[in-house]
Amino acid sequence: MTMNSLVSVRDIHKHFGEHHVLRGVNLDVATGEVVALIGASGSGKTTLLRCIDFLEEFDQGTIEVDGQSVGYRVDASGVRRRRSEKENEFLRARMGIVFQSFNLFPHLSVIDNITLGPRYALREERASAEVRATELLKKVGLEGKARAFPATLSGGQQQRVAIARALAMNPKVMLFDEVTSALDPELVSEVLQVMKKLAAEGMTMIVVTHELSFARDVADRVVFFAEGVIAVQGKPSEVLDNPEDPRLRRFVQRFSQRTEASALPG
Amino acid sequence: MIDDLLYLLRASLNTLALSLISIGISTLLGVLIGVVCAFRVPIIPILNAIFVGFVRGVPLLVVIFAIYYSAPAFGIDIDPFAAAVTGLSFYFTFFVSEIVRGAVGAVPRGQFDAAYSLGLTFWQRARLVILPQALRSALPPMINTWLILVKGSAFASVIGVWELTTASTELAQRTVAPFQVYGASMLIYFAICFTLACFGSFAEKRLRFQT
Amino acid sequence: MQLRLFVHVVQSLLPALGIAVELALASTLVAAVVGLGLAVISQGKSRLGRRLVKAYVEFLRNTPLIVQMFFVFFGLPFLGIQVSPFEAAFLSLALQHTAFFAEIYRAGFENVSLKSRDAAKAIGLSGYDTLRLIVIPQAVIRMLPAIGNEIVQIVKDTSIASTIAVAELTLRARDLTEQTSATYIVFAALACYYLILNGVISLGLRFAEKTFAYAE
């Protein structure tokens, strides 16, 4: 176990019924590192992300985040036991996740969306939570929108609120699950800009994405998933420029055309 | 003539009382059962399914009769008003429970994911995220159920409760003017039910989130 | 002992079943057909027609069937029309459920996506063919559950005819309660009749859904 890994994934297996989705995944993410997970649909990358946040159960293996074992713990006699709901909730609160379909709470205003977690899970006072929420809104470029409701916002705006909502919990690591895939092309860059800023500030990020130019520009490491395991990983230039693995080559060819359209400015 | 109308209006107050009490009980119980079923607590969903099947297949009038005429056999001395309330409440509890159960099920999976990811406890997730959305979408069909209940309250007349339909029958026999009396009675029911229906449409428009 | 009573009640109610089924069947047929006519008017060009249909539907939906039945049964003789209880019940059920069928059809027509109709026009299908091949099959499938529910409701509503002395199931059952103190057995048997009747209708509905699945 690498001592300075913030996130440590060991030999993860997961089945969805008959389907063996994750077949022994090992991954380390150091503090401050930005890791991009790429791969075809069904290769397991989203499932792994959800396992890390314990939104999915996993059958075998361990996940450690900030020294804490996620989801399960092996007791003194070597038996694997599920951790209590309270422990799992506590751990989830220290990880932030942003979803492809935003999942903002439609019945709450933007600021209530952002302050919900801090007020109820972290037991903060409404006033201080709102102060921080306002700062976060400024950070994602949505200053005036505190009282707006999600239905009145564009996809890109909603996603930025979702990022602010996750950041409000002061997470140790931020997980991104194809956060731009559901957006109209012209709204993609505003979200990628926010993510780029976050990375520059030193946030540890695990990003499942199809945006290869983003991976090239921002990621410290790119990890290619195929058939439930990590097939290739390394620096972006190593992985993306001249891939040897034929599956990776096909993948890069397919998604390079798409990223022309949404390339980051500058 | 005015006296007659006032007579009917006074009786309709009883109809309202009967309806409101039954609406209150059935909504409260129905929401409770529906939520419990949606969160898959053991046993209750099976019982709920049985009762739902029962009220879907058996007429309300029969249920009210059954309660009123069977209670004495079990040693319960029941008065008509109580029997009517019991019948109406029991019957419509399971319409409401199905609506609520469906509404919780219709809340998108992503909402559960997002609530989980913030580290909220089960009760916090239910109270702050899931139920506010579920109950909002359940309200318009629930209002429609209330409307059906108000119409069903007329059956109380058949077991002797004095309400609008009973009064209309009395009056129609007394004045030998069934057209006018039942016509007026229908207009009063219409006023009550149509108001409720409009409230339902209004609620539906206001509670819609654009997706 | 209770089982014997139960069997006795079931046998006694059997003749009344025929009346109830007759009433339900007749009302359903009339309501389904006339309701279609009303729905067509409500989609039509005449503003007056649309308004009249809407008023009719709203009025019948917001008044209790039992009061409507009293109105018909006790009121018609005053117009010089003599009606038997069965006829009054039939008329009343037909009037009420025509309104509901009209609503079901209206919702069904409006829901068939405009896209399908435009697409049909684009391929060059005539209006009549469009209706026959595109609109009606889609609409029918969408409406089947609601129609099934409506028929079940009509069966349940036949019980209201007991209040104007139609010799159907519920009235017979009420009579039988005079003969015994174990009245719950009588109502249990009565409930079984309705549950079985409505169960058969639900099965029929499922069969119909499979038959019309070709349009999907």
More confident residue, C186 or C44: C186
pLDDT digit string, tens, across residues B108-132: 999 999 999 999 998 899 999 999 9
For chains A and B, what is the number of CB pairs under 8 angstroms?
70
Subunit contact B119:A169, Cβ cutoff 8 A: yes
User: Among A52-66, B178-192, C100-114, whose mean pLDDT is lowest?
Assistant: C100-114
Q: One-letter amino acid identity for C168? A: E
pLDDT over threshold 60, residue B9 = yes
- Pick among 3.90.226.10, 3.20.20.80, 1.10.3720.10, 1.20.1250.20: CATH of B2-210: 1.10.3720.10
**B58 vs A: CB within 8 A:** no
Region A145-174 average pLDDT: 94
B142, B203 contact by CB (below 8 A): no
More confident residue, A229 or B95: B95
Q: CA of B106, closest CA in chain C: separation in Å?
A: 19
Region B7-17 average pLDDT: 94
**What predicted TM-score, i.e. pTM, was given to this entire model?**
0.86
What is the pLDDT confidence band of residue B106, given thresholds at 50, 70 and 90?
Answer: very high
Q: ipTM value of the model?
A: 0.90
- Would you state the pLDDT for residue A41? 83
Subunit contact B119:A92, Cβ cutoff 8 A: yes
Subunit contact C160:B61, Cβ cutoff 8 A: yes
Domain ranges of chain B: 2-210
CA geometry: angle at B161 spanning B156 and B167, to 5°?
Answer: 95
* CB-based contacts of A98, cutoff 8 Å, min separation 6: A159, A162, A163, A166, A174, A175, A176, A177, A179
The two three-digit tokens of residue A30, written as one number: 């150091």
pLDDT digit string, tens, across residues A22-55: 999 999 999 999 999 998 887 889 999 999 999 9
- Name the residue in chain B with its Cα closest to that of C151: B57
pLDDT over threshold 80, residue C112 = no
- In 3D space, the residue among A226, A208, A210, A258 whose CA is nearest the CA of residue A37 turns out to be A208
- Name the residue in chain B with its Cα closest to that of A101: B110
Structural domains of chain C sorted by starting position, each given as residue range(s) with its CATH number in brackets: 2-215 (1.10.3720.10)
Residue of C2, C71, C170 for testing the chain B interface, max B β-carbons within 10 Å: C71
Subunit contact B62:C194, Cβ cutoff 8 A: yes
3-state secondary structure of A14: strand
Subunit contact A92:B121, Cβ cutoff 8 A: no
pLDDT digit string, tens, across residues B22-73: 999 999 999 999 999 998 888 999 999 999 999 999 999 999 999 999 988 8
Q: How many CB atoms lie within 10 A of CB B122?
A: 13
